[in-house]
Structure 1
Amino acid sequence: MSGRSDDHPDRNEIRTKIMGLGERAGHKSYFPQLQERIRELEEHKAYLEAKSAELSRMLEELDGARRRAEESERRFRDLAELLPQPVFETDLGGRVTFANRIAFEMFGYAPEDIERGLDCLDTLVPEDRDRARSHLESTLNGEDLGGQQYTALCTDGGTFPCIVYVTAIREESGVLGVRGIVVDIGEQVQLREQKDLIEAQYHQAQKMEAIGRLAGGVAHDFNNLLCPILGYSDMLLGGFSADDARRKPLEAIHSAGLKARDVVRQLLAFSRKQTLEVKVVDLNRVIAAFEPLLRRMVREDVAIRLSLSPVIANIRADVGQIEQVIMN
């Protein structure tokens, strides 16, 4: 087809025949009506051509928008694959529609699980799912909840603490779902627990140091009281013969004083104020002798059971230091 549409041979022929028909029939009054009809048809044709051109432009714009959206989606996917944390997307029902490589590796799922309709709540321990479902609904309704801490559940049954950040996926048509990132905080939690443990041990050491100072002071004062008891009882025992009936109560006094001196020695060992006295000792005997004092220093709900070796060699050591090790 070439030339202007108004010069189409068929159109000219039709116009000529219509005009000739009107003249032969003597009805020239029809000619203006036909001309008006032709004009309307031509206007309608021009309108359709304009709309066709407009539709073509719209299709081109939509095609460009589609290409830009695909490019944006590709950049997002490429960026998500570079991140060291799991990245995911879900639809309005919470079904996972996208997950990056690290998400599959950490949780143990496969792309086939997404195709089967993996629920994002299945990646959390059961006790966290109701709370997560409420947070998901709030996010879809436009609320910004920030990071939320959960316990993640892997396919092998393993768990790890995490913080999940999510935001709604919005387009011109409305909200399509959520997009989020999962941050594994297992290492931070472990470091915090270690820090808390070290702080607790430090506070306990401070308490033990204070108790040790108190025990040392009490031991010194008690030792000053024992010196005359042991000295005078020993002097009195020297003045009686072995078969003298009066020796028995004196021996009881002296024996009690010796036991009290052992307690003082143990208190000094606990307070670390006793000088080292290295000698040959029987570990079983040292532990058995230290047990009564140890029982008095622990809580009533703590049971102490001795499991001593029947055959053990003697060692050279300071008894006080051994008792200190047992106390620690």
Structure 2
Amino acid sequence: MKDFKRSRRLRSSAEIRGLVRETNVHISDLIYPMFVVPGKNIKREIPNMPEQYHYSVDQLKEAVKEVIELGIKAIVFFGLPENKDEDASEAYAMDGIVQLAVKEVKKYYPGILVITDVCLCQYTSHGHCGVVKGGVVINDESIDKLAAVALSHAMAGADMVAPSDMMDGRVGRIREILDKNNFKHIPIMSYSVKYASAFYGPFRSAANCAPQFGDRKTYQMDPANRLEAIRQVEADLEEGADIIMVKPALAYLDVIREVKNGFSAPIAAYQVSGEYAMIKIAAREGLIKEEESMVEALAAIKRAGADMILTYFAKDMARWIRRNQ
């Protein structure tokens, strides 16, 4: 019998498998999302997002300490305001919830990278990511407000801003206002490729930001489109984006790879709330093994081409990496 290739030689032990492993997720790849709410002494588990919490600002010192001790270098803040209005006024107020959170964390941990979500949906009474007039989301007025939000975050001490709204031209407007106000050093991580996905459900509950009418399909991307993603990335890079993001991650691995092949800019991918919750809840029901599923999913995102991953699994994954180094 003619000899055949014995591929199993390189699978025969954990040590050999580790030696030839092509893709490794590192702790430095992970960005941990955190939700900040008004009030005091609040650490409240978020429904449908097991082991994720709403934190009041006074609880951030201990919460971020845990993140740092695990070796995670970056967090991203999402804020829930005290009050909502049509103008999203608390989104760009210097005493807004995210602005206070940034100041609090930087007071104790100046070295951690603090990224801020720049959007209006949590702050508007109608729940849309921009200014609404006559039942329509108005693009150009929206980007002026988004720029004001980004500037207020930079003034509070944020290290990076991340516009997630999907309004046309918002990256350029944010870059312009940051540069004019001596924040040329602040990078923009743009949600360049953000799909109108069904996987955002738990987040919308966590951030209390579901639209009060209609949906977000007039500004977020059609899940069926691939080439549109390339156009979006090109536009955002031309306007000044430093990092581009694909969101969600697992359902769009092909898009992550397409973007990786086409551009040299760093790529972030967001493993969103629904992707996280599916693993957590299925594991609780005994249908899958949680750690193995987590590791496999995050490796797939990295293998597809992501340079960094925003994930609610960041702390769990960091613990797994530390145990298995």
Question: TM-score with structure 2 length normalisation?
Answer: 0.18
Larger Rg: 1
Structure with greater helix share of residues: 1
